[in-house]
A and B are shown apart, each in its own frame.
Chain A
Amino acid sequence: MLILQSLSKTYKTGDTALSEVSLTVPKGQIMGLIGPSGAGKSTLIRCINRLVEPTGGQVLLNDVDLVGLGKRELRQQRRRIGMIFQEYALVERLTVMENVLSGRLGYVPFWRSYLRRFPAEDITRAYALLDRVGLLQHADKRADALSGGQRQRVGIARALAQDPELLLVDEPTASLDPKTSRQIMRLLIEICAERGLPAIVNIHDVPLAQQFMQRIVGLRAGRVVFDGSPDLLTQDALTTIYGEEDWNAMRKGDEEQTAAEADARDRISALAR
């Protein structure tokens, strides 16, 4: 179970991306997060595994507060959170198998990962996951040799290799065609159901969200303005979330993106220390 308590994020530029967001995601629930660009969706899921550092509030994952953990504890907690990205974010020059095994990095010492000598059970697990997402015969291909849909399947396998207790999914279908998008969503839903995994899915496509999500949360300007089942998402509700024509928010979207990227860069340079 994931509990967010008055989670807030204000970027150094002074932009408030999240203000006092409180949500509870029970075990096995798949929650869709919708909202206009710049509403703070991306910031919200990155605050959970602290790729973006929240400025206030609590993130409780099965009773462990992730905010305020030291570097080592944070790394151990990140293993419990699988993340799936918009443009797959696979390491393009590594093979499919290496990409899936990179989900185990938090569990193995540096020298084992460096020499690619992963424990036998990790390798068995990786093959099983590749089989589950239907890419077993592609294990030794380089990631950049695959199609978009296949790459996103590798991304899913990598996240599952972590043996996570929560999935964070950032726009999983934004770079895919409608048919592949639905296949990927279906796969995600099945996998979450098999494992009783809770998931937060950022999604642009409202019909896709209504088709696949059990619960939808609408975010606008960093605040929760809708929380309910997909059937309750009426025209009025959509207007509340997206507005009639909110050009201001779209411009803010670019700013938020830039701020998030700068923040992520800082975080990564801090990690390399």
Chain B
Amino acid sequence: MTDVTHHSQVWTYRTPRARLLLWGGWFALVALFVYCWQVMTAGTMWVFVWDAPKQAADIGGRMLPPRWGYLGELMGPLWDTINIATLGTLGGVIMAVPVAFLAARNTSPSLLVLRPIALFIIVASRSINALIWALLLVAIIGPGLLAGIIAIALRSIGFIGKLLYEAIEETDARQIEAITATGASGAQVLSYGIVPQVLPTFWGITVFRWDINIRESAILGLVGAGGLGLKLEASLNTLAWSQISVILLLILGTVVVSEWVSSKVRHAII
């Protein structure tokens, strides 16, 4: 120890510079909020807003009671929606798994070429909403279930790929080293060293994405990609509010069931 005879009684958590930056940051945020508020009010027609409670009450009144007789007609589209979600998830998984292995730093065969490509695929897939994918695909391959399935699959690649490649990168390197030391080939190192470590995460991600896809595929019909959304659009166009309430309740019910299924499955795996 050097002989320290005097200890300061002053200690600050942040340097003066950091404090100034922090205050500056908060100030900028408040300024931005005030500015955005002004933009919003300038673009709003207040007559409609003052009218809102009346309009809401009016639409609410038209929605009630729901036309339960319409439910029978919805079973076919509901089945389509579930199929779009399931097949779309399946397609997404099939495409996402190789992409994830190419994107993970510890399994990518080429860090300079293939890894950036794989990361780009993931980002591209994630940056575009399933509804936009569906819009494009309906224009390209025509309306129907297929467009919906492909839209869901394309959107799922990014989600599954990103979470899976992060899981691959977090695997325990010692287990992989031990398998390598036995003289195992690259494919065997993958199947014995890495796959067992990421398998539970993989199933968790897949079921979670399926659950999200049920919700997303319920509205894809709005742009002509089949399923419940088609019925929703038709009802919206004819202002059949009592049918719309039935559709919304059905979507709610389906999502609750899919959530329940996915949480059961995840508990069973982990």
Contact = CB atoms under 8 A, between A and B. Distances in A.
B194 to A, nearest CB: 8
Given A49-B181, A268-B180, A269-B105, A92 B175 contact: yes
A89 B182 contact: no
A269 B106 contact: yes
Interface of B: 105-111, 172-193, 196-197, 199-200
Given A49-B181, A94-B196, A110 B175 contact: no
A11 interface: no
9 contacts: A87-B174, A93-B200, A94-B196, A105-B183, A113-B192, A268-B173, A268-B180, A269-B106, A272-B108
Contact of B192 (A77, A87, A105, A268): A105
Interface stretch (A57-65, A78-86, A128-136, A244-252): A78-86
Contact of A268 (B176, B182, B187, B197): B176
B180 A261 contact: no
A273 interface: yes
Contacts of A106: 182-185
- The interface residues of chain B, by DSSP majority, are classed as helix
Contacts, number: 111
A78 B111 CA distance: 26
A75 B182 CA distance: 8
Contacts of B191: 110, 113-114
A155 B200 CA distance: 24
B167 to A, nearest CB: 13
B196 A113 contact: no
Contact of A272 (B178, B186, B199): B186
Interface string A262-273: 001101110111
Q: Which 10 A-B pairs have the closest CB atoms?
A: A106-B183, A78-B183, A105-B184, A89-B178, A79-B183, A93-B196, A89-B174, A83-B181, A273-B109, A75-B183
B185 A91 contact: no
A91 B193 contact: yes
Contacts of A261: 173
B57 to A, nearest CB: 57
A102 B181 CA distance: 10
A89 B199 CA distance: 18
A172 interface: no
Nearest to B192: A102
A89 B186 contact: no
Contact of B183 (A87, A110, A162): A162
A51 interface: yes
Nearest to A86: B174
Contacts of A110: 185, 187-188, 191
A39 B182 CA distance: 26
B231 to A, nearest CB: 45
